[in-house]
Amino acid sequence: MMKRYFTTLLLLGTVAVLLSMDATAQKTAIQTITTHDKITVVTDPSKGSNTYLGWGKFPATNTPIRKIRMVVKFGCPDTLRCADWDYMDQILIRRKGGQNAPDLSYEIGRMLTPYGGAFGKNWNFEWATDLTDFSLLLRDSVEVEYRHAGYEPNNDRGWKITVQFEITPGPPALPPFAIHRIYDGHYAYGDSSKPIEAALKPVSFTSNSKTRNARLLIYQTGHGMDPEGCGEFCSRYREVLFNDQLIDKRDIWQKCGDNPLYPQAGTWIIDRAYWCPGELKHADRYQLTIQPNRNNVVDINMEPYQSPKPSATEVISAYVVEYGAYRSKQDVAMEDIIVPSNKDIHSRINPAGVHPVIAFRNLGGALLKTLQISYGTKAKARQLFQWKGELKPGETAIVKLPGIIAAAPGENEFQVELSRPNGKQDGYLADNFMSSVFKAIPKHGASLVFQFKTNRQPEHNSFTLTNSNNEIVQQRKEGELKADSLYQEQWQLQPGIYTLQVKDSAGDGLEFWFNRRGGRGYARLLDHQRRMLHLFESDFGSSLFYAFEVVQDSTQHQASVEIPAVGLYPTMSAGPTTLDYFSNSAEKVTVRFISDPGNQLVEEHVYENMKEGVFQYDMSYLPAQRYYVQVWVKGKMVFNKRLRIVFRQ
């Protein structure tokens, strides 16, 4: 089974000389294949599903492939707004070889669409997943289907979608021999007339004579809404058996408050049955102990469950891929640089000033116990560390490294190189090196003010300021804060790197539209002249992260935020709502209420020379529906949030 975990690191010391890692690492050209290029995707309400097909020319069958990565990009269409609902979309291999080839329908990706109702026209986001296990199928001419689900209107909303495949050539760590479809369907759950175990019967396959390894892949998400919230909002366990041996038991449940894509317009923070809105789902991967020429059995069992009014569905696709022997006993590969990084998916914990975080994989046949890691910003001094742990073949480790992340202003390049797995020569060097582009953390002066306005449920909140040695400089623990109170922390800091973290143990931030009892709070970082340096999003779910550097010359580095801080609460109301505005400069501000659907201006307020203010509106005269509240400054929309006027008794 593939695991992700932090491991203990042993410091060897900082390399005082500049190491030219990119000079020693082998460069491999990556081939990019695009099957869907910024296409507009909308629903088909008459069927609940809409199909978008695209062909790609993949490497020939005899071309060795080291790695395949699928990238999915979302944006708002050029002529429509972003769509509203969290639908389950699927990406499938439909045909391989040409127009007359048989229908394969292998699911290789599952996209849970975000609540996009409040995204601006320039919004975009990118996800990626590893598809190397499908290298037998992604060959020659391949037809890829993007299947978009849903019933929402299709005349004014949708998505702009790109699907790309990044092919890294090179010898595979494991040569694939066969792929077997184990399960593929929407399985009723909780219905006594259609028990799920009758559908999820054990599936047999006979292994190849050359098979020495195998991997089981499972895509699973729960959907539907019965009286207990199943299958979307209930936690139930799943058991996986291989040859009558239990290899995994886990809850089909996922926390959503730390979703990298935030905030969203709907109930994005609410935990769900193994998925969150705005997520490209990764397959669960299990390394299988297998013998050649043997009959093997895979069996998935769900927790026994019955509902008086069943509507739950478990959507499951599962495959077994057979492989030969490992090409090398000692073989490691970089998987990702998580910190520092500009990737959307890592935006929750970036930019950062200390502690790089990387992911690497053991692609060798031997247990990995030691590894040398060289890392640092390009053209800066490198650090050298010896990792120690136990990483089984096929598994991935996520490692937090010590040290400061050196950076020049603007964008930088961070480099990591792996070497000497188990003290020996790596069997394949080309994937030992990786670099990432990242932004430097902001620089501030020593005199700072942290404004923290609590909501009506402050027992869930805490915040901590730490220095580069992870020492606490200031802290407000959970349970210390009072409701509806403004805390203004005066900080006089020494030069150095600091990290400010805000947490909410309930996972609903300082504001969440569905939790009207909780009210709204906010967090702002100001300079000594009360100019805003950083505005924190109140609708943040579980946590906020902000790293910065305090420098001696405060006048040179005291940058301030140009976009004003705007809040609207409640956003689900019988009519009354309050808008608060804070800016570093006085400007003409226009507040507009726009109908949805209809996109008609229903009310407008203009405020001349406004810098700060709180404004109350009563929209109870309007029909009960959705509206957008927009704030415009100097011809630019700086705020766009959905207001739900609900039915009044």
Looking at residue 310, which CATH number applies to its domain?
2.60.120.230
* Residue 232 forms part of a structural domain: yes
Which tokens sit at 232? 């979307």
Q: Of 25-34, 162-171, 406-415, where does mean pLDDT reach its minimum?
A: 25-34
Q: What is the mean pLDDT of residues 190-209?
A: 97
CA dihedral defined by 443, 444, 446, 451, rounded to 10 degrees?
-130
**pLDDT for the residue numbered 14:** 38
- Mean pLDDT for the chain overall: 93
**pLDDT for the residue numbered 5:** 38
Higher pLDDT, 16 or 289: 289
CA dihedral defined by 136, 139, 141, 145, rounded to 10 degrees?
50
Q: Which of 298, 303, 113, 128 is nearest to 218 (CA)?
A: 298
**Is the Cβ–Cβ distance between 525 and 409 less than 8 Å?**
no
* Same domain as 454, residue 592: no
* Same domain as 310, residue 207: yes
Q: How confident is the model at residue 525 (pLDDT cuts 50, 70, 90)?
A: very high
* Residue 22 forms part of a structural domain: no
**Residue % of the chain over a pLDDT of 70:** 94
Q: Which CATH number do you get for residue 522?
A: 2.60.40
Q: Which of 87, 77, 154 is nearest to 115 (CA)?
A: 87
**pLDDT for the residue numbered 555:** 56
* Same domain as 123, residue 45: yes
* Same domain as 242, residue 262: yes
User: What are the pLDDT digits (tens) for 336-383?
Assistant: 999 999 999 999 999 999 999 999 999 999 999 999 999 999 999 999
Q: Could you say which of 414, 437, 460 is where a domain stops?
A: 437
Domain that holds residue 648: 562-649
Which tokens sit at 88? 């389950």
Q: SS3 of 347, please?
A: helix
User: How many Å apart are CA 464 and CA 482, to the nearest integer?
Assistant: 17
* Same domain as 638, residue 550: no
* Residue 12 forms part of a structural domain: no
**pLDDT for the residue numbered 120:** 87
Q: Which of 502, 641, 495, 503 is nearest to 568 (CA)?
A: 641
* Same domain as 383, residue 483: no
**pLDDT for the residue numbered 596:** 86
* Same domain as 372, residue 247: no
* Same domain as 163, residue 63: yes
* Same domain as 578, residue 498: no
CA dihedral defined by 120, 121, 122, 127, rounded to 10 degrees?
80
Q: What's the 3-state SS for 168-205?
A: EECCCCCCEEEEEEEEEEEEEECCCCCCHHHHCCCEEE
Q: How confident is the model at residue 493 (pLDDT cuts 50, 70, 90)?
A: very high
Which tokens sit at 532? 């805003």
* Residue 457 forms part of a structural domain: yes
* Same domain as 182, residue 312: yes
* Same domain as 205, residue 164: no
**pLDDT for the residue numbered 361:** 98
* Residue 337 forms part of a structural domain: yes
Q: Which residue has the tokens 């290899």?
A: 247
Q: Could you say which of 555, 579, 604 is where a domain stops?
A: 555
**pLDDT for the residue numbered 648:** 63
**Is the Cβ–Cβ distance between 593 and 619 less than 8 Å?**
yes
Residue 19 has pLDDT above 70, yes or no: no
User: What are the pLDDT digits (tens) for 121-146?
Assistant: 899 999 999 999 999 999 999 999 99
* Residue 367 forms part of a structural domain: yes
C-alpha distances in Å from residue 553, one per residue of 120, 351, 528, 556: 37, 22, 14, 6
* Same domain as 284, residue 197: yes
User: How many Å apart are CA 388 and CA 9, to the nearest integer?
Assistant: 6
* Residue 626 forms part of a structural domain: yes
Tell me how many domains the chain contains.
Answer: 5
User: What are the pLDDT digits (tens) for 445-490?
Assistant: 999 999 999 999 999 999 999 999 999 999 999 999 999 999 999 9
**pLDDT for the residue numbered 326:** 97
* Residue 381 forms part of a structural domain: yes
Q: Could you say which of 536, 555, 574 is where a domain stops?
A: 555
- Sheet architecture: strand order including 88-96: 49-57, 141-149, 88-96, 106-112, 279-281
